[in-house]
Amino acid sequence: MERKKRIVIALGGNALGNTLPEQMAAVKITARAIVDLIEEGCEVVVAHGNGPQVGMINNAMIALTHEDEAQPNTPLSVCVAMSQAYIGYDLQNALREELLNRGITDVPVATMITQVRVDENDPAFQSPSKPIGKFMTPQQAQEVSEKYDYIMKEDAGRGYRRVVASPKPVEIIEIGTIRTMVESGDLVIACGGGGIPVVRQGNHLKGASAVIDKDFASCLLAKELDADSLIILTAVEKVAINYGTPEEQWLDQVSVSQARQYIAEGHFAPGSMLPKVEAAIDFASSKEGRTAIITLLEKSREAVQGKTGTQFVATHP
Ligand code: ADP
Ligand code: MG
């Protein structure tokens, strides 16, 4: 029997929404898109981001310390773990229901709490860049920075936000279990929020104060599972050069060398499109036959059929 096409899907913010009710509604649409791919005959593994959710959990845990002096502040790694469980719960529930609605009864769905090792010497720890959580006044920012040692930065004229380090993922600790589950035909949700960041201390894995970019974690997951395709689902159908200008041009198919040149020319915004394009290049160039696609959630079936999205291909001589 021919091996099924294995796809790792990376879900962005718009697949999950910003509040509890939004997420509950969004996962139903997301589940439809994912089950569409299973009906196409693909084997799917799901990864996702957690920007709004980890910020929300972090703020809730800060509020707890205000209410109860006996409660110390919650480490960011624990907040990421909480976000994996919360998002995984909604997603696996919606996926199960969508599968059953279509008469697919032989695909178990499960979320894997995933730790991802980062390098404690990663330069990202020296320059925190990823904003999380709510906007604050300068006074509030001053207060939390003194109380919790948070680094606060002004964010595009909208107020102050906490910024955290975003180191590169090095190793997926639970990859063996994830692989076993995928091989046995389960629909697995893994590396949520980029994974719980940990550093190795002998046999101990210590939680790190960081949030890993889900685009890079999904790329590592796709490589480790020897996937055929990495599909990054976001808020745009295609990637553009000269984005938002009169010269804007949407890309259909792009070679990794061409994409690298576009990066050098500064076409992709850091923190949003740049990590996706970098992850797409990394995956498509990692082994012959691997492709990466960036597209809209609602277009994932057409994108897998090669009809839309930006498709990244290696140009092997
Ligand atoms: P996600 O939550 O899926 O990670 P982001 O908001 O981080 O989504 O990134 C997607 C956004 O990147 C798009 O909605 C778009 O506004 C922006 N963007 C920046 N540069 C580009 C580009 N060159 N082409 C397309 N979109 C771009
Ligand atoms: Mg993003």
Q: Which of 49, 51, 130, 192 is catalytic?
A: 130
Pick from 129, 231, 234, 268 the residue to mutate for probing ligand 1's pocket: most ligand atoms within 8 Å of its CB. 234
Ligand nearest to the CA of 296: 1
Average pLDDT, the chain: 94
Q: Which of 50, 55, 193, 214 is catalytic?
A: 214
pLDDT of residue 74: 92
pLDDT of residue 315: 79
Pick from 155, 236, 276 the residue to mutate for probing ligand 1's pocket: most ligand atoms within 8 Å of its CB. 236
Mean pLDDT, residues 111-118: 98
Amino acid present at 244: G
| pLDDT of 316 above 70 | no
First to last CA, the chain: 30
φ, ψ of residue 51 in degrees (nearest 5): -45, -65
Range with the lowest mean pLDDT among 134-143, 185-194, 298-307? Answer: 134-143
Condensed to tens digits (0 to 9), the pLDDT of residues 29-63 reads: 999 999 999 999 999 999 999 988 999 999 899 88
- Atom nearest to 235 CA in ligand 1: 14
DSSP secondary structure of the chain: -PPPEEEEEEE-GGGT-SSHHHHHHHHHHHHHHHHHHHHTTEEEEEEE--HHHHHHHHHHHHHHHHH-TT-PPPPHHHHHHHHHHHHHHHHHHHHHHHHHHTT--S--EEEPP-EEEE-TT-GGGGS--EEEEEEE-HHHHHHHHHHH--EEEE-TTS-EEEEEB-PPEEEETTHHHHHHHHHTT-EEE-SGGG-EEEEEETTEEEE-SB---HHHHHHHHHHHTT-SEEEEEESSSS-EESTTSTT-EE-SEEEHHHHHHHHHTT-S-TTTHHHHHHHHHHHHTTSTT-EEEEEEGGGHHHHHTTSSSEEEE----
**SS3 readout for 164-186:** EECCCEEEECCHHHHHHHHHCCC
| pLDDT of 158 above 90 | no
Phi-psi map region of 141: left, alpha, beta (phi>0 left; psi -120 to 50 alpha): alpha
Q: Is 18 a catalytic residue?
A: no
Condensed to tens digits (0 to 9), the pLDDT of residues 201-250 reads: 999 999 999 999 999 999 999 999 999 999 999 999 999 999 999 999 99
pLDDT of residue 66: 86
CA angle (4, 7, 12) in 5-degree steps: 160
Distances (CA, A) of 184 to 85, 188, 220: 22, 11, 21
Condensed to tens digits (0 to 9), the pLDDT of residues 257-312 reads: 999 999 999 999 887 899 999 999 999 999 999 999 999 999 999 999 999 999 99
Ligand nearest to the CA of 277: 1
| pLDDT of 317 above 70 | no
pLDDT of residue 177: 98
Residues with CB under 6 A from ligand 1: 12-13, 49, 234-236, 239-240, 243, 267-269, 272-273
Q: Which of 14, 51, 133, 192 is catalytic?
A: 14
Q: Is 276 a catalytic residue?
A: yes
What residue owns the CA closest to ligand 1's atom 14?
235
pLDDT of residue 14: 84
